[in-house]
A and B are shown apart, each in its own frame.
Chain A
Amino acid sequence: MAMSREDVYEKVQEVLVDALGVDEEEISEKATLMGDLGAESIDFLDIVFRLEKAFNIKIPREELFPAEALMGNADYVKDGKLTASGMALLREKMPHTDLSQFEKDPDINKIGDLFTVASIVNYVQGKVG
């Protein structure tokens, strides 16, 4: 089922309004899920569940929100920053996200900022074609 980016964005917007209890106006492509929209881990699960239903796709959680797999691993995180292998893994797992800014200072506390509305729209569009 091919969908235009606007169609995908609209549906993603609905999902985020329902999952996060925010107003439509608060959602923009650049809005970060954690910083701007107040999402936390239970919300990430809620978003995955709703996206699966809305788009009739299966979303392995680590595909959409892979940071958690990296965080606990000493190979990938050193002194609060991602190592080269951590960064490589993140790039591999998040092809739908622009990591160029993050790469300049791969501070794990800033990983949350990577999860923007745009990255979700990109991911979903990749899945629905």
Chain B
Amino acid sequence: MRWIWIDKFLEFKSRESAVSLKNVTLAEEHLHDHFPGFPIMPECLIIEAMAQTAGILVGEAKGFKEKVVLAKISKAVFFHFVRPGDQIRFHTKIESIANEAASTTGKVMCGEKLVAEIDLMFSHIDQNLGGKQFPKENFVFTDMFMSLLQGFIKPAEKSV
């Protein structure tokens, strides 16, 4: 399996907002554990899909120079569950952005149904968080994520 929970971007407005999409399919192995007899997309993975959408939006706002990681889930509220065959959209916008962190709000939609509201905070880990050393290259924004932005931003925009 690959740790990517969105399939494509539908909209991408640099430094402002983005919309991405995910198709939920029975080929996803974890669905068969959650739950055996009635598969539904785990809520935590819906949060991850939003985090990937919003994380890329925040990362791009900084030219992908920062390693943007999820620091806090301010709020995640779920109104409906999501089933195989559903196509869900993640709408997110940047609320605040500073040197060391950013906050985003977002809604998850399935058709016209509001599935969830998810507000997140991201921080930009530097070379020495709590004495930890990190590899120099930006391991957060791999080619797997960057390829989602083809057609939305110019290829030269990721700094190595």
Contacts and interface: CB of A to CB of B under 8 A. Distances in A.
Given A49-B96, A53-B95, A53-B96, A42 B75 contact: no
Nearest to B100: A45
A106 B66 CA distance: 36
A42 B98 contact: no
Contacts of A18: 74-75
A92 interface: no
Contacts of B74: 18-19, 21, 46
Contacts of B82: none
A42 B101 CA distance: 8
A interface, by DSSP: helix, strand, loop or mixed? helix
A45 B100 CA distance: 9
B62 to A, nearest CB: 15
B interface, by DSSP: helix, strand, loop or mixed? strand
B121 to A, nearest CB: 6
A5 to B, nearest CB: 26
Interface in B73-119: 74-75, 95-96, 98, 100-101, 103
Interface residues of A, number: 12
A46 B121 contact: yes
Contacts of A43: 72
A75 interface: no
A-B residue pairs, 8 tightest by C-beta: A49-B96, A45-B101, A42-B71, A49-B103, A42-B72, A46-B121, A42-B121, A42-B123
B31 to A, nearest CB: 30
Contacts of B103: 45-46, 49
29 contacts: A18-B74, A18-B75, A19-B74, A21-B74, A21-B75, A42-B71, A42-B72, A42-B101, A42-B121, A42-B123, A43-B72, A45-B98, A45-B100, A45-B101, A45-B103, A45-B121, A45-B123, A46-B72, A46-B74, A46-B103, A46-B121, A48-B98, A49-B96, A49-B98, A49-B103, A52-B96, A53-B95, A53-B96, A61-B98
A46 B103 CA distance: 7
Contacts of A48: 98
Contacts of B95: 49, 53
A24 B95 CA distance: 24
Contacts of A49: 95-96, 98, 103
Contacts of A61: 98
